[in-house]
Amino acid sequence: MKITDAARRRAVAAALAGALVATVLPGAALAAPPGAHRPDCAIGTLDPTPMRQAIAGLPTDDATSAQVRVTTVDGCWTGTSGVRTLRGSAPVPPHARFRVGSVTKTFTAAVTLQLVAEGRLDLDGTVQRYLPGLLPADYPPVTVRQLLNHTNGIPSPTLPAGIEWQLAHRYDRWTPEQIVRLGLRNPREFEPGTDQHYTNMGYIVAGMLIEKVTGHSYAEEVRRRIARPLGLRDTYAPGDDPRIRGPHAHGYQAVVRDGRTELVDATVWSQTFTPAAGNLISSLSDLDTFMTALFAGRVVPEPWLTEMFTRPVLADDRTGEYSAGLTAMPVGGQTLWIKTGSRYGYLAGVAATRDGRFRVEYSITATDAKSEELSRTVQAVIGAALGMLPPAAPQPTVSPGS
């Protein structure tokens, strides 16, 4: 549900607070402190106080739970806050799984670049070459690179507005071909390579390419190429299964009906509308292991890994914001490479410096995860994380005449 009117948003938040008080058992659940430090994370001399404060006091009208992991050169901290479900006061289970949303794209980019490294795909090869007939005959060439860095211009589908339609169709099953055909009813956004627009479409098509050239499902390729080699126990593509298997916290969506705000459990929800773009399930420890290995070159080999840290040059010499599977975020004279994701009930994110020595992963069960206004809890987590970001290394000076 997207709310753009500030006054209405404040009214919804107030009503939601009342709904939470009525829904959650009184006592410890409403004042649940952040969870204890996890033993798989050596705290060292890191002071986690800002992050503890960022996620304290859940559930609130904004979010029902939070999981955060932060790693710096001083140490690592993992903490939780809130409840597993609003039907009780049980805390978030250890190593809880969650929907990562568009963080999926980082995995898809990695698998695609592995296939490029193996010579089974070419970054300058076209969709028309690998998937003949998918795009109209008069469609301009769209390259694999353009799929990954959002410069493809393939239009997205238009769906009915409003959360009620989404709820009514939450168990629908889509195929990638259906989604592409529905999107192509709309005009092309721009000439491929000339502009950049972040959408799911390039990654949905990339998932189709992966399946075409390997002969295996996207889920199997993620498992075989990433999850199994890295020992990721919680990471998988759910396919048609709308559930989250294993331990997890429930996600909720605020819905206004007859002037009252209700919290609808959004945990069980088909993700077939975002194949290879937003459908993966994972955990904090798995995401941290993946990001560490990825940035160290142990998932995608050089020189193809460079694509994940290269922002495209667009028309009029503009530099794009998105690379292959990541987003560049300039901070204090350095670049933080991030990827965020949202599915109903869940907000997730990963961030790291290029050297991998600073990393953050989070999952927030926000009550309006698809809103245009970012969850206050996520804003607090990001603010705390940026406060822990080490300063940029000093650049060597070059004396005149040298």
Among candidate residues 233, 210, 203, 355, the one with its CA nearest the CA of residue 294: 355
Look at residue 292 and give its three-state secondary structure: helix
Among candidate residues 109, 67, 44, 20, the one with its CA nearest the CA of residue 285: 67
Decide the pairing of beta strands 346-353 and 359-366.
antiparallel
- How distant, in Å, are the alpha carbons of 131, 134, 184, 204, 386 from that of 138? 15, 12, 12, 21, 47
Q: What amino acid is encoded at 144 in this protein?
A: V
Look at residue 244 and give its three-state secondary structure: coil
Instruction: Round to whole Å and give the CA distance between 299 and 147.
Output: 20
User: Is the sign of the CA dihedral 258, 261, 262, 265 positive or negative?
Assistant: positive
Q: Are 72 and 390 in contact (CB under 8 A)?
A: yes
Instruction: Round to whole Å and give the CA distance between 379 and 398.
Output: 39
HSE at residue 204, side-chain half, CA atoms within 13 A, is 24
Query: Cis peptide leading into 303, omega within 30 of 0?
Result: yes
Q: Are 201 and 152 in contact (CB under 8 A)?
A: yes
What's the chain's length in residues?
A: 402
HSE at residue 386, side-chain half, CA atoms within 13 A, is 16
Instruction: Round to whole Å and give the CA distance between 236 and 126.
Output: 28
Instruction: Round to whole Å and give the CA distance between 149 and 202.
Output: 8
Look at residue 328 and give its three-state secondary structure: strand
Helix (H) or strand (E) holding 105: helix 104-117
Please give the positions annotated as active site.
Answer: 102
Task: At 328, list the tokens.
Answer: 């560049």
Backbone angles phi, psi at 335, to 5 degrees: -115, 125
Query: Cis peptide leading into 34, omega within 30 of 0?
Result: no
